[in-house]
């Protein structure tokens, strides 16, 4: 594995060669929860982004392959200008810096979410998913188990008792059955406001799609509308959910047997799966990977978990367990080593 200075020098040299400009420089554009990083440069009046994805840590080929498929389906993903897969460098279209998150407000939300749901419908109707990894029982279970290990155990210092494990497993069974009874479609997996960019043509621009799966039809909808980074009134969220159900009906993806109430339950409990996983994952990113940037978002995620679970009587014991251990704790403060 090369050192950081060596990697930076190789990245710059490759970019200069790819664009034929020995004078250009790179500035950090962003990084994410993986080992990828992104760098911006300018050449001939145009902005470009270099994706640095060290192959030994984060193979760039799944991103490249999935991006090609999404673009063919009419989805706006970054166009690729040049690649060096051996080194893990890709020169890609710059979708800009206008993320959905800071642009979302009471006035813009209907328009921006309508565009995002239009793009989601394209993904769910045009993208082949049978060859993708399944969001199956094993994957659903492993996602949920992150929370007891990293939130209850590592962060709160609470090892569940035998009775508490029974409560957790009963709640997890409800959530897993809900996911498995839904129709399967293409799942982006992280379809939220930090992975959507406002662009002039074919809005939104979509990134971070390399982990796509074949899974529950409401998963990406829940990621979008129950975003870990922004909260909307439940009544407004339910209106958007129903508008998407109507899109699916018109596209003949589902039929009238899938009532508003049933679809909303699918949505609620699928979002609950995601937020239980994220509740553990955000702490894992700190305790295991040394990335504290997500701790500030934990109270919002915890609120999602409790407020949604409270609406379903079969999850009452699960809510009580969480409150017993977490209420009154500052969830943004890391535990002592």
Q: What is the pLDDT of residues 219-236, one digit of tens each?
A: 999 999 999 999 999 999
Name the residue with higher pLDDT: 1 or 53.
53
Work out the percent of the chain whose per-residue pLDDT is above 70: 97
What's the chain's average pLDDT?
A: 95
What's the confidence (pLDDT) of residue 336? 66
Residue 334: what pLDDT? 80
| Cα–Cα separations (whole angstroms), residue 144 to 147, 162, 190 | 6, 17, 16
Q: Which two tokens stand for residue 251?
A: 């596209």
As a whole number, mean pLDDT of residues 137-141 equals 97
Min mean pLDDT across 28-42, 77-91, 296-310 is at 28-42
Compute CA 305 distance to the chain's CA centroid, rounded to the nearest angstrom: 16
Helix, strand, coil shares of the chain, percent, nearest 5, are: 50, 15, 35
Cα of 58 vs its chain's centroid, Å: 17
Residue 32: its pLDDT value, please?
62
Q: What is the DSSP letter of 333?
A: S
Residue 329 clears pLDDT 60, i.e. is over it: yes
Closest CA to 53 of 41, 64, 40: 64
Region of 317 (left: φ > 0; alpha: ψ -120 to 50; beta: rest) is alpha
Among residues 75, 186, 203, 154, the alpha carbon closest in space to that of 335 is found at 154
Q: Tell me how far apart the terminal alpha carbons of the chain are, to the nearest angstrom.
A: 29
pLDDT digits (tens, 9 = 90+) for 147-157: 999 999 999 99
Encoding tokens for residue 118?
Answer: 């239009």
CA distances to 24, 150, 254, 276, 321 from 171, rounded to whole Å, are 55, 18, 27, 11, 11
Are the C-beta atoms of residues 217 and 136 closer than 8 Å to each other?
no
Contact partners, residue 81, CB within 8 Å, separation at least 6:
18, 48, 91, 92, 93
Please say whether the beta carbons of 129 and 214 come within 8 A. yes
């Amino acid at each position: 594995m090369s050192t950081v200075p060596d990697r930076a020098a190789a990245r710059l040299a490759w970019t200069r060669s790819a664009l034929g400009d020995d004078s250009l420089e790179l500035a950090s554009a962003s990084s994410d929860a993986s080992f990828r990083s992104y760098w911006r440069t300018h050449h001939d009046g145009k902005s470009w982004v270099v994706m640095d994805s060290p192959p030994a840590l984060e193979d760039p080929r799944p991103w490249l392959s999935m991006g090609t498929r999404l673009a063919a389906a009419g989805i706006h993903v970054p166009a690729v200008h040049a690649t060096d897969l051996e080194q893990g460098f890709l020169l890609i279209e710059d979708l800009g810096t206008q993320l959905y998150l800071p642009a979302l407000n009471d006035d813009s939300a209907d328009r921006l979410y309508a565009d995002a749901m239009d793009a989601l419908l394209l993904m769910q109707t045009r993208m082949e998913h049978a060859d993708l990894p399944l969001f199956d029982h094993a994957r659903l279970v492993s996602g949920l188990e992150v929370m007891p290990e990293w939130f209850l155990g590592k962060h709160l210092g609470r090892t569940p008792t035998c009775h508490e494990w029974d409560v957790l497993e009963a709640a997890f069974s409800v959530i897993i059955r809900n996911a498995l009874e839904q129709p399967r479609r293409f799942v982006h997996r992280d379809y939220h406001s930090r992975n959507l960019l406002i662009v002039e043509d074919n809005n939104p621009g979509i990134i971070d799609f390399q982990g796509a799966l074949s899974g529950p039809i409401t998963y990406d909808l829940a990621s979008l509308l129950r975003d870990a980074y922004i909260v909307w009134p439940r009544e407004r969220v339910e209106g958007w959910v129903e508008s998407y159900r109507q899109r699916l009906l018109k596209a003949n993806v589902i039929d009238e047997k899938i009532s508003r109430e049933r679809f909303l339950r699918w949505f609620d409990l699928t979002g609950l799966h995601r937020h239980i996983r994220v509740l553990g994952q955000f702490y894992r990113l700190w305790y295991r990977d040394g990335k504290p940037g997500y701790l500030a978002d934990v109270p919002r995620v915890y609120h999602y978990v409790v407020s949604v679970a409270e609406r379903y009587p079969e999850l009452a014991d699960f809510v009580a367990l969480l409150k017993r251990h977490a209420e009154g704790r500052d969830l943004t403060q890391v535990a002592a080593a």
